[in-house]
Structure 1
Amino acid sequence: MNDEKHRVAADLLRAYDTKVPIEPPRNTIAGLDLEGAYAIQQWQEKALKDAGRSIIGRKIGLTSVAMQQQLGVDSPDFGFFSDQQLYRDGDHIDVSRFIAPKVEPELAFIINRDLGADTTFDDVVEAVDEVYLAVEIIDSRVRDWDIRLVDTVADNASCAAVILSSQPIDVAVDQLPEVEAVMTVGDGEPHVGTGAAVMGHPLTPLVWLAGVLAEQGTPLKAGEIILTGSFCGAAAVRAGENVYVDYGTYGTLTATFSKGHK
């Protein structure tokens, strides 16, 4: 990776701590393409591993039309998250950990085997060990959420944290597209979507991710947690607001965002 990409990667990683966003990478690196953007992301993942962080999962983003329209892109992307970015249902979350956070209702899947380049949909179905209700907290280390696809990819697909239900849910594979999420943030209007918004079926993005990661030499590993995409558009969240997601017969997921509460 050249010096320019290395500098952007270091600046993005530093922004997690400083809360000072950077200029869009596309404006800093002329002709930045997806390969270069993922190289910037991978440098950050390696730096965190070298610092002792455990990478416990992956997130797939931009799998719904709503999210692609919201961010002005036309294809999925992916990022990673560590053990220090994992929360559980009912947790109090310090909003000052983020710059401009937003939340998305999703489902998370834990796989029981490695998945490589030739992974099929049936392979994914057999590999899914547990299904959890999930909310992804997205954030942008890029100033003012001024992002295009290469910017969000470089910025770890805008991943900030993950909230999972305390227990897995019991849901049949063929029912996953019909799972409905109704998300309310504070006193705002509900955001509603179903699993069908995620590329037609919430497991379809896992097939895509297995192939893409295998091409990069980092196949999906047994035990990893995979979030496959938002059911609807993201909603901003601020200190003092509760996030409440009703998944109907499958349960609810809640979190309280507060300032300075660890």
Structure 2
Amino acid sequence: MKAISGKQEELANLLAHARRNVSQVTLPDDLVPETTSDAYAVNQAVAERLGWEPLGWKIAGTTDAVRGKLQLDGPIYGRTFRRFACTSPMRFKAAELLDPLIECEFFVTLARDLPPRDEPWTLAETIEAIAEVHAGIEVAECRYPRKALPPLPAILADGSASGRYVFGDRIENWREGLASMPVRLEIDGALRREGVGADVMGDPLRPLWWLAEQRRQWGDGLRAGETVSTGSMTGMLPVRGGQHVRARFGEAATIEITIDL
């Protein structure tokens, strides 16, 4: 693990405590990491402190709309945890969610490692490392209140608001291409968002390639069995208690979530 400063240690401890206690914190300005690299080092330190079994990674900022909303130059990512993986249909209690946002994504699980090496990975090599792809919804959460969000590096330190991961059906024909798959997101039966796989960097497997390169350069790579959520085709939609969520991935899969009061 990369060495971190005293301020980064303090932030990592604060975020680990918030994760354990399902709580939010208002961050002092002096704890905001100075750089993106510092922020990702804090996220790694948070995972070390928690000691939770990793699920894999989330990627965000993979569409023009989301990058514009968050004022991003490119995608961002964060560590995810297996204790927050579940299957559709799923029920959550509103009180246990932190400013939840619904994001319709593909969940890609690796069959083999993509370890660090000198030469860059190719898209074809990345695709060959895939074991399976599921339709998915991330219920993104943030350890900072939505009404008082700190600058972006602090959000990266919090795993880019990684939350809960609701797995839908396996996409059996994913090798035939995911770019053309339509996605419709309904709340209480009303269509609220729609998109298509190509909205995510032209092909929703390209973010996996991007992440493999990021982690190759970091020095640890990606590992077999990790699941990567590759970015939302439907943006970020806030939900509240009493609502029912349904996402339709063409004819391939449907995911349902109920948020109980």
| TM-score, length of structure 1 as denominator length | 0.90
* Superposition deviation, residue 196 in structure 1: 0.6
Residue deviations 1:74-126 (CA, integer Å, cap 9, x gap): 21111121121111010112222222011100011111111134221101221
- Structure 1 residues not aligned, in runs of 5+: none
Opposite residue 59 of structure 1, the aligned amino acid is: K
- Kept after mapping to 2: 8 A contact 1:64/1:232: no
Query: Which of 32, 35, 39 is the equivalent residue of 2:34?
Result: 32
In the alignment, does 2:81 pair up with 1:82? yes
- Kept after mapping to 2: 8 A contact 1:183/1:244: yes
Mapping for residues 1-262 of structure 1, pairs under 5 Å: 1-24=4-27, 27-29=29-31, 32-49=34-51, 53-117=52-116, 118-144=120-146, 146-165=149-168, 167-186=169-188, 189-259=191-261
Opposite residue 201 of structure 1, the aligned amino acid is: D
Opposite residue 251 of structure 1, the aligned amino acid is: A
Opposite residue 228 of structure 2, the aligned amino acid is: I
Distance (whole Å) between structure 2 residues aligned to residue 43 and residue 172 of structure 1: 34
* Superposition deviation, residue 143 in structure 1: 2.8
- Structure 2 residues not aligned, in runs of 5+: none
Secondary structure at the residue paired with 2:214? helix
* Superposition deviation, residue 164 in structure 1: 0.4
RMSD of aligned Cα (Å): 1.8
Opposite residue 61 of structure 2, the aligned amino acid is: L
Secondary structure at the residue paired with 2:155? helix
* Superposition deviation, residue 200 in structure 1: 0.7
Taking only the aligned residue pairs, the percentage that are identical comes to 26
Opposite residue 72 of structure 2, the aligned amino acid is: V
Secondary structure at the residue paired with 2:73? coil
* Superposition deviation, residue 147 in structure 1: 4.4
* Superposition deviation, residue 206 in structure 1: 0.9
- Kept after mapping to 2: 8 A contact 1:60/1:228: yes
Distance (whole Å) between structure 2 residues aligned to residue 187 and residue 195 of structure 1: 22
| TM-score, length of structure 2 as denominator length | 0.90
Higher fraction of helix: 1
Residue deviations 1:185-215 (CA, integer Å, cap 9, x gap): 2365421111111111011111111111122
Secondary structure at the residue paired with 1:249? coil
Distance (whole Å) between structure 1 residues aligned to residue 226 and residue 158 of structure 2: 21
Secondary structure at the residue paired with 1:40? helix
> CA 1:151–1:189 in structure 2 vs 1: closer, same or farther (change >3 Å)?
farther
